Structure 1
Amino acid sequence: MANGGGDSHLSRGLLRPDAAVAERCALIEAEKATYPIAWMCRQLGVPRSSLYAWRNRTETPTQARRRELAVEVRRIFDDSRQTSGCRRVAAQLNREGHECSVGLVADLMRELGLRAVQPRAYKRTTLPGEQPEDSPDLIGRDFTAAAPGQRLVGDITYLATDQGWLYLATVIDLATRMVVGWQIADHMRTGLVTDALAMAAEAGHTRPGVIFHSDRGAQYTSAEFRQYCKGKSIRTSVGRTGVCWDNAAAESFFAALKNEMYHRQKFTTKAKARFAVAEYIEVFYNRQRLHSTLGYRTPHEALTEFETAAPAA
């Protein structure tokens, strides 16, 4: 629970310094389930009598709708782990039957002081091999697919813990943006990426002739990896060296994982980091997080729709 310190975030930036009493009262009303009313009145300089008078005023239908919608905005924002901006919050509201515009949600979030976690710059981690096997770019920055199991992308990133580094390899389906394969290890040998790809294949997320696209990291251009893919009827594809846009879909996932989860906490052990990554991928990212590239659906919803439509096709 918040304390009575004058440095409270309620008094530091949720409202403009010249905010009207009505705006301050609205904030108190919206936050009454989170903070003590008396404490908020002190922090925002609102007499209790003014709050009661504001509550008893005649409320217009528009004001009532904004007040009710503000509660839903707060709920959805919290459910998203403070990661959703106004567009994703508005999309979820409309999914639930609360018709609203992005502009209205942006106004309410501003009044409530709700700010989604801000993205950090993403730093590339994979390094090209000394003698990489030649492979064409079969994606050409077209990160779409007609159906699941046809076009996949993958990459590797570093994860810091107090016990040392971990390395995460992922496989993402471009039709659903679902992370269909992943592996964490304390090494960056080729086995890391083949294990991630094997997870996708064993779960039925690959079709014969599927394209797997990556950067020119040594693991992805090694003879061992090429041999594995050949044995599984997987066609390899790589982007140009040092050109991040050639594998943007894979790197976008790592930016989301680190921005929305990893950089927001400290991991004292590798075990805690492994669990957090697994929970983020399988629970939040694949099944709860709305994706703008999917028309504000979750990857699991997109996959389900493909699977449902397939028998009828």
Structure 2
Amino acid sequence: MKFQFIYEHKQEFLVRLMCKVLVVSESGYYAWRKRPKSARAKADRELGAEIEPIFEQSRQTYGSPRVKAALRRKGINCSRKRVARLMRLLGLVSCHRRKKRKVLTTNSQHNNPVAPNRLKRDFTATKPDEKWVGDIVNRRFKVTH
């Protein structure tokens, strides 16, 4: 991790100075640079190259479970956590599309009986318990006879 930081900032600061500040040896840093990439790092790079097109073809909507399923269909077997880690490293974040909700509105085009309007929108009462009002909302009630 420290060697990676030094490598990424070697244009801004002296390597010798960064090694001293981060308490690592210069020889260790240069040995790290010459060391070949591990088999795991190479495999991760190849898997990342497979993940990116799947993510883009999904219009950036697939998360790690769906990307893993797509990889499995291609014959590539790996864990969901590994796919999630590689997506995170590659900066691939799925966007969540909201489901469209059906808006319920009043249906005035029906043959059901309508209660008479006895108050005529006059809700003022001259004494307590003179006028009681209420509202009944019909939400898909099934009437059985």
Change (3 A) 1:92 1:133: farther
Alignment-derived partner of residue 241 in structure 1 = 139
Alignment-derived partner of residue 73 in structure 1 = 51
Per the normalisation by structure 2, the TM-score is 0.52
Task: After TM superposition, list the pairs within 5 Å mapping 1:101-250 onto structure 2.
Answer: 101-120=79-98, 122-132=100-110, 241=139
Identity value in percent: 34
Count the aligned residue pairs. Answer: 98
Change (3 A) 1:94 1:46: farther
User: Distance in 1 between the 2:32 and 2:110 partners?
Assistant: 70
Alignment-derived partner of residue 42 in structure 2 = 64
Work out whether residues 90 and 101 of structure 1, in 8 Å CA contact, stay in contact via their aligned partners in 2: yes
Per the normalisation by structure 1, the TM-score is 0.26
Change (3 A) 1:61 1:96: same
Tell me by how many angstroms 1:54 deviates. 6.9
The higher radius of gyration belongs to 2
Tell me by how many angstroms 1:99 deviates. 0.9
Alignment-derived partner of residue 75 in structure 2 = 97
User: Distance in 1 between the 2:39 and 2:111 partners?
Assistant: 66
Gaps of 5+ in 1: 1-18, 26-43, 135-239, 243-313
Alignment-derived partner of residue 132 in structure 2 = none
Q: Alpha carbon RMSD of aligned pairs, Å?
A: 3.7
Gaps of 5+ in 2: 16-30, 113-137, 141-145
Work out whether residues 22 and 54 of structure 1, in 8 Å CA contact, stay in contact via their aligned partners in 2: no
User: Distance in 2 between the 1:63 and 1:80 partners?
Assistant: 26
SS in 2 for 1:241: coil
Larger relative strand fraction? 1
What is the one-letter code of the residue matched to 2:85? D
SS in 2 for 1:107: helix
